[in-house]
């Protein structure tokens, strides 16, 4: 049908018109004398999105996977031991990347629907008296299952054990959407991407690095060229890059950061929680469950919804796309066909979330789910309206 197609996968997300206009500019000279007047303030402002004053930001033309690779290759050596939890497709892929680089990964396998096991992390770190573990990996938001983990809790486990390992966080689907505090939580490597909370097209890996991690690069022996922090630092200090940067994307990032600051990070986190809770109310009104098994794991950026036994989640996604012009996220790996996903992050409001619920609801019924049309949408509407009434009463 004519009209804009609904995009409710958990990334790439909807790109605001303001950012599209900022990107749609003529090519420019990335060696121009005045280019640093643009890039140097941008580096400093992007750092604020991570809530860091002491870290250093690197912006690579890449996806979040490139950010993972940059983080480990600049700080670790072949044979180094890292601790990680596998509880979804993306935490699994990060582990796989480490193993391909010759790292020894101690993997905590966790049921899909749960997050980082703090107790097991704490036990392992306390038992590692020789400090053989050089890095601890945390996927803050597991996009495949709609699970958010407690980064601050992992930092506490490290501190309680007196362990010096680097704390590395995959924040690709959380940073600029879910509360993240780099300095306060003692994060050493934080990886994000342009296509989610930053509301941009795919194409930039945005990595924030602590001074401790920068120091670690001096003894790291893993090979790196394209992702070298040293090469970036040598050029970034003067506002330039070691190779041709994605200048149009940098212009879009400037507008993105300005929009984030205008709304305010805490307001953005509150908006995401509010939108997500409406989606969750809708799912529960259908009589369905989330893949996240407890409220403490619920993600405010993506909901993975378990379909009824007689329904194929992949067919729900196909039906929504072909009949209702709605893109939903498919179930991945272990949960393929068992779930579908609604992404609710980035540039998003209540009406947009309601349209995702309405389309998903119709697709579910078309695929055999015993759901009353309007039930999920109505539950979300009621929640959104009650929140509005409560705010008006408080302001009166």
> pLDDT tens across 134-148, in order?
999 999 999 999 999
What is the structure's pLDDT at 393? 61
Bridging pattern class, strands 302-306 and 104-109: unpaired
Share of residues in the chain with pLDDT > 90 (%): 96
Is pLDDT above 80 for 392? no
Please compute the mean of the pLDDT values over residues 313-321 and round it to a whole number: 98
Average pLDDT along the chain: 97
What is the structure's pLDDT at 49? 98
**Confidence band for 2, pLDDT divided at 50, 70 and 90:** confident
Domains, the chain, ordered by start = 6-12+264-395 (3.90.1150.10), 17-262 (3.40.640.10)
> Which structure tokens are listed for 177?
């959407």
Instruction: In whole angstroms, give the CA distance from residue 337 to residue 317.
Output: 9
**Confidence band for 394, pLDDT divided at 50, 70 and 90:** low
> Is the whole-model pTM more than 0.85?
yes
Cα–Cα nearest to 96, from 115, 121, 72: 72
End-to-end CA distance of the chain: 44
What are 5-50's pLDDT values in tens digits? Answer: 999 999 999 999 999 999 999 999 999 999 999 999 999 999 999 9
**Confidence band for 364, pLDDT divided at 50, 70 and 90:** very high
Is pLDDT above 90 for 336? yes
What is the structure's pLDDT at 1? 77
What is the structure's pLDDT at 390? 66
Q: 124 and 157 in contact (C-beta within 8 Å)?
A: no
What is the structure's pLDDT at 14? 97
């Amino acid at each position: 049908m004519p009209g804009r197609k609904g995009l409710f996968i958990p990334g790439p997300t909807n790109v605001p018109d303001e950012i599209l206009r900022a990107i749609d500019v003529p090519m420019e000279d990335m060696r121009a004398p005045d280019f640093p007047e643009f890039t140097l303030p941008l580096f400093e402002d992007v750092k604020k999105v991570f809530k860091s004053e002491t870290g250093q930001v690197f912006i690579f033309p890449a996806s979040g996977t490139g950010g993972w690779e940059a983080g480990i290759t600049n700080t670790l050596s072949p044979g180094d031991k890292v601790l990680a939890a596998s509880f979804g497709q993306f935490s699994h892929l990060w582990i796989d990347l480490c193993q391909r680089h010759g790292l020894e990964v101690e993997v905590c396998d966790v049921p899909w629907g749960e997050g980082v096991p703090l107790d097991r992390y704490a036990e392992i770190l306390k038992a590692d008296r020789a400090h053989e573990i050089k890095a601890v990996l945390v996927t803050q938001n597991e996009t495949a299952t709609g699970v958010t983990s407690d980064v601050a809790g992992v930092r506490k486990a490290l501190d309680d054990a007196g362990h010096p390992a680097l704390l590395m966080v995959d924040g690709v689907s959380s940073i600029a959407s879910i509360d993240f505090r780099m300095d306060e939580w003692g994060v050493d490597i934080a990886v994000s991407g342009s296509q989610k909370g930053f509301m941009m097209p795919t194409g930039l890996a945005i990595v924030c690095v602590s001074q401790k991690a920068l120091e670690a690069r001096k003894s790291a022996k893993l090979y790196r060229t394209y992702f070298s922090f040293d090469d970036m630092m040598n050029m970034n200090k003067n506002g330039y890059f070691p190779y041709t940067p994605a200048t149009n994307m940098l212009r879009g990032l400037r507008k993105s950061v300005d929009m984030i600051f205008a709304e305010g990070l805490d307001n953005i986190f509150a908006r995401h929680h509010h939108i997500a809770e409406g989606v969750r109310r809708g799912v529960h009104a259908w009589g369905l469950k989330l893949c996240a098994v407890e409220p403490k794991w619920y993600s405010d950026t993506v909901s993975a919804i378990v379909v009824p036994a007689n329904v194929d989640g992949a067919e729900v996604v196909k039906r929504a796309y072909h009949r209702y012009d709605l893109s939903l996220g498919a179930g991945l790996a272990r949960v393929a066909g068992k779930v579908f996903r609604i992404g609710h992050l980035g540039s998003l409001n209540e009406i947009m979330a309601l349209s995702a619920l309405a389309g998903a609801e119709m697709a579910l019924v078309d695929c055999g789910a015993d759901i009353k049309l309007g039930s999920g949408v109505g539950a979300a509407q009621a929640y959104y309206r009650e929140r509005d009434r409560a705010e008006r009463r408080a302001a009166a």
